[in-house]
Structure 1
Amino acid sequence: MGEKRVVPRPLRRLLDWDTVMTDKFVKYVDRNYGPISKYKTTMKALEYSCHGIPWLLGTAAFIFLLQAASSRQLLVNIFIALIVDIVVVGVVKAITRRRRPATNKTEEMLVVVMMDKFSFPSGHCTRAVMLSVVISMQYDLFLPLWVLLQGWSGAVCVSRILLNRHHLLDVFGGIVIGVLEAWLMSQLWLSETSTAAVVNSFLDETQAGASYDI
């Protein structure tokens, strides 16, 4: 049996403060703009809209369904960004191992896996912020589309607290990590030529493998 990890007192105080402030924030919103329950359907929709599995599967599928080079460039880069995000969030959660708020209802979450029982950082926040920032950095978006993208990202972050999925610091940490991931991806962003080579290489290998099927 492993020994229980001892949390340093200053960190314990910070986490306790975070728990109290998160509870106060939720109660404030519920009292002044609520009840929160009437927004639950919308917040659940935001949760689904930024879930990692649909994003990964959908991006992978559209890479091969869409033929335009510019579309494939965006999708391949987003797919890489999603993989980077999953790895980064998984590693940080495994290190910090912070539990979710006591008021979180695990059975209501879309998919629960081992890593999801940990709270810091919010993976939905890292993903939403990373996507909204890196796309804005790489493309000159039409203003209404830019506003919609940033609004979606911000709404996802706030909803994580109001759904009792995360504490305030989990969301703040997710925002910071998401921005850093966006910066990293902007440095690694593949050109149309590179993404076309990646996709064609994969298709050639797949077709070569299929030709040996009996």
Structure 2
Amino acid sequence: MELGTSLEKRKVPNMLKRILQYDVQLTKKFVDLALRTTTLKSLRNHAKLFEVSCHGIVWLACWLSFIWLFNNKELYQLQVNMFIALILDIVVIAVIKAFVRRRRPVPMNKLMELGPDKFSFPSGHTSRAVLVAFILICLNPISIIFYPPLLAWVTAVSISRVLQERHYLLDVVCGAGVGLLEGLFMALIWFSQSASASILSSLSDEKLDGGEYHV
């Protein structure tokens, strides 16, 4: 009875159901076409590498290491704001997935690993890639010579999520939209250089004192 009641409460509107069905069909056609296209087929073969390159835990671990190892006042603002942005993205994606609860695609290759995360909407890898690119291009600009490889990475991560059959096309498109909105939100709350230094100071006096431990 409880299960039936839960299903009734989560009844999908007909219009949304048609959109999701069309999304499934379009995604399957895209993947099928990609498998017959040399460039996209090669991208699918490297999809696991792109998945790891934008994994939330990997980014958090690497960024914390970056904060601890590189004690440079010019980096404080980027270090603090990017860390906050990564936490924001993980929380936002987790909340949306828990609310929407759209199941991941059933891979055409039955041997492909599904993973522990059952929900696909929106794509967290895509939102994170877009968010990182937004910060490094708009909020804390890096050299323009790094823009092409950065944008190529964002594109490869996004497409690989579909080719790996971890997401539908709509998941990736909406994930990009979420990442952009998160970037705009970060622009509103962007911590200044002094505020960032204060935050790092409160977390680690040794870091701002030059990395020396006081006994």
| Pairing 1:6–2:7 present | no
Helix, strand or coil: the match of 2:62? Answer: helix
Structure 1 contact 85–126 (Cα < 8 Å) conserved: yes
Cα distance in 1 between the residues matched to 2:37 and 2:111? 26
| Pairing 1:198–2:214 present | no
Structure 2 contact 50–157 (Cα < 8 Å) conserved: yes
Cα distance in 1 between the residues matched to 2:45 and 2:197? 40
2:31 to 6, 26, 33: 26
| Pairing 1:96–2:97 present | no
Q: Deviations over 1:81-140 (max 9, x none)?
A: 00110111011111110000011779736xx44xx2110000000000011012100234
Partner of 2:186: 185
Structure 2 contact 127–179 (Cα < 8 Å) conserved: yes
Structure 2 contact 43–156 (Cα < 8 Å) conserved: no
Cα distance in 2 between the residues matched to 1:18 and 1:107? 21
Structure 1 contact 129–178 (Cα < 8 Å) conserved: yes
Helix, strand or coil: the match of 2:204? Answer: helix
Give the letter for the 2:67 counterpart: I
How big is the shift at 1:142? 2.4
Helix, strand or coil: the match of 1:31? Answer: coil
Structural mapping, 1:70-81, within 5 Å: 70-81=74-85
Query: Which segment is superposed worse, 189-198 or 135-144?
Result: 135-144
TM, length-normalised to structure 2 = 0.86
RMSD: 2.1
Count of matched residue positions in the alignment of Structure 1 and Structure 2 = 200
Give the letter for the 2:160 counterpart: S
Structure 1 contact 76–195 (Cα < 8 Å) conserved: yes
Seen in structure 2, the aligned counterparts of structure 1 residues 41 and 75 have a Cα distance that, compared at 3 Å, is: farther
Cα distance in 2 between the residues matched to 1:125 and 1:40? 16
Cα distance in 2 between the residues matched to 1:73 and 1:42? 33
How big is the shift at 1:32? 3.0
How big is the shift at 1:204? 4.5
Seen in structure 2, the aligned counterparts of structure 1 residues 102 and 108 have a Cα distance that, compared at 3 Å, is: closer
Seen in structure 2, the aligned counterparts of structure 1 residues 34 and 155 have a Cα distance that, compared at 3 Å, is: closer
2:89 to 85, 88, 101: 85
Cα distance in 2 between the residues matched to 1:175 and 1:34? 22
Cα distance in 2 between the residues matched to 1:137 and 1:121? 23
Structure 2 contact 135–141 (Cα < 8 Å) conserved: no
| Pairing 1:51–2:52 present | no
Helix, strand or coil: the match of 2:35? Answer: helix
Seen in structure 2, the aligned counterparts of structure 1 residues 67 and 34 have a Cα distance that, compared at 3 Å, is: closer
State the identity as a percent.
Answer: 41
Partner of 2:174: 173
Cα distance in 1 between the residues matched to 2:166 and 2:82? 25
| Pairing 1:64–2:68 present | yes
Partner of 2:20: 15
Give the letter for the 2:50 counterpart: L
How big is the shift at 1:168? 0.4
Q: Which runs of 5+ in 2 are unaligned?
A: 207-215
